[in-house]
Structure 1
């Protein structure tokens, strides 16, 4: 999941200090080299745990939520962790909506500092990823992977067709206007919910999600997806090298931008695991511009990590 934030310092401190995620990678947007690209995930940056941001700065254009955008990004938490998270969020002056019941699971929702809506779903499933020992959140309560994503569209069927016939999802059930689809593989991060909206087309900017990413094992599988989706009339990009993975992109009929990214080579191609996120790293093709890039990026300091004071 990749979204657009405002102030980079505020963004990083919220996702590390408040949500307890690891700051996995500090680099730049390859399509806009004077904008940071931050990655937050589990201890190793395992695929399926990473939420990433392009922080546009305090002067960046504000986005507007609407049709063709992500409505809610939901993390998995064990049922016994929900009270911990309610207390933690409220103690940090974050307004929590819920708990509510959705598809037989208890869910709470809240906004990050830029207005991006996040949720925690209490589920008995097995979490993805690996706990991060220095996290301010105890290991048993850490966010270790996505549960689901909900997309706002004007009509369910065109997007549902891409999910089922294009990406192999299966319709599961509908409840209170939410239509749930699950990938055949199952497990964490396998759910996409579609919700109809009568809002106008959303405007990309601070406080909105830029795109939703799916995984492929390698470029051979990626090429198969590219051919399959193109045969269904979707415009799919060529494979693009993002250093830590390779990507293809396409926009589904409802307006949401999708990415299919390879599982590797991963975040340790340019840093050891214990060094992840500690300094700005650039792809080789931008390294000779480092001085200019650093001079134009906003001032930023990696957030310090303080243990949860309630943990004995």
Structure 2
């Protein structure tokens, strides 16, 4: 068994409307599913991804209206990366961030790749990473109806950056339980990879032994999910996690994929998720994310759920 790479990253927003505006109109990502948190259906769960919503391209957000400020620290997924095709694309994005007054840094080299760090309006910590020298897991395709030229568009998720108190504990989980390989180091961070490797299959770990745990809120990351081929393999992973001694959720049916959740030794929430069946299970591919989608087990509560949600117009017309 081998995990294929990053499946999705799920974060927290306090304002779904503002979040939708930023990630579609500024970042040019496609909303491929407007649904709810299945464990708390009174809140939105928004999925932004590539043109088809492929696994490995999903950045998702739970809307928690009263989410307070995030106080960064350890035991956290500190930065999420988004992939672009080329170094030239980063220059485009730097100009675009200046135009739209998006808080950002300069273009720098990290671990042999060009990167551009920035923050969304709620302080979500993000980095664009160039695939120009990338070898490994293939990216998706940027959305052809985005307000961003397709050659510069976002094509998927890149490495996630974890900040922990004791790096050896997380390393043990990654390598001994989940089968990651150590790839190298840079700037006091250690890089691990899985599957075919590359930008879409890496976890970067930074150790801060005396750091205080992060206080999560709006702009923080809730969990990271890793890709599993299918349910049969997920069952084998369930046995592996059980044997490792970590408490876990068991297999949970999320309708668009099936998952297992557990907290690694530094208390960061990991998820293993199947590649399928995917987001076109209940919507036409040309109209993903335009209406509120509910899994069958919540459909009979649609009116009640809609009454608790703030209005969010995501309708659009495709040419």
TM-score, with structure 2 as normaliser:
0.92
- Specify the alignment match of 2:5 in structure 1: none
- Specify the alignment match of 1:71 in structure 2: 78
C-alpha distance in 1, partners of 2:99/2:317? 17
Q: Indicate whether 1:19 and 2:30 are aligned.
A: no
Q: Indicate whether 1:191 and 2:191 are aligned.
A: no
Residue-by-residue CA offset, 1:80-134 (whole Å, 9 max, x unaligned) = 2111010011111012112222112221101111111000122322651123211
Contact 2:43/2:309 (<8 A) preserved: yes
- Specify the alignment match of 2:44 in structure 1: 36
Number of residue pairs matched by the alignment: 305
Residue-by-residue CA offset, 1:202-258 (whole Å, 9 max, x unaligned) = 223221100000011111111111111221221121100101001100000111100
Q: 1:234 aligns with which of 238, 246, 254?
A: 246
Q: What's the secondary structure of 1:118's corresponding residue?
A: strand
Contact 1:5/1:207 (<8 A) preserved: yes
- Specify the alignment match of 1:309 in structure 2: none
- Specify the alignment match of 1:82 in structure 2: 90
Contact 1:218/1:263 (<8 A) preserved: yes
- Specify the alignment match of 1:170 in structure 2: 181
Residue-by-residue CA offset, 1:38-59 (whole Å, 9 max, x unaligned) = 00001110000000000112x3
- Specify the alignment match of 2:150 in structure 1: 139
Q: Indicate whether 1:60 and 2:67 are aligned.
A: yes
Contact 2:103/2:120 (<8 A) preserved: no
- Specify the alignment match of 1:154 in structure 2: 165
> After superposition, where does 1:111-126 map in structure 2 within 5 Å?
111-124=119-132, 125=134
TM-score, with structure 1 as normaliser:
0.94
- Specify the alignment match of 2:266 in structure 1: 254
Q: What's the secondary structure of 1:189's corresponding residue?
A: helix
Q: What's the secondary structure of 1:234's corresponding residue?
A: coil
Residue segments in structure 2 that go unaligned for 5+ positions in a row = 1-8
Residue-by-residue CA offset, 1:240-293 (whole Å, 9 max, x unaligned) = 010100110000011110000011111111101011000101111111111111
TM-fit CA distance, 1:304: 6.0
Q: Indicate whether 1:271 and 2:283 are aligned.
A: yes
Q: CA RMSD in A?
A: 1.6
Residue-by-residue CA offset, 1:136-180 (whole Å, 9 max, x unaligned) = 111111110112110010111000111111111111111221111
Q: What's the secondary structure of 1:87's corresponding residue?
A: helix
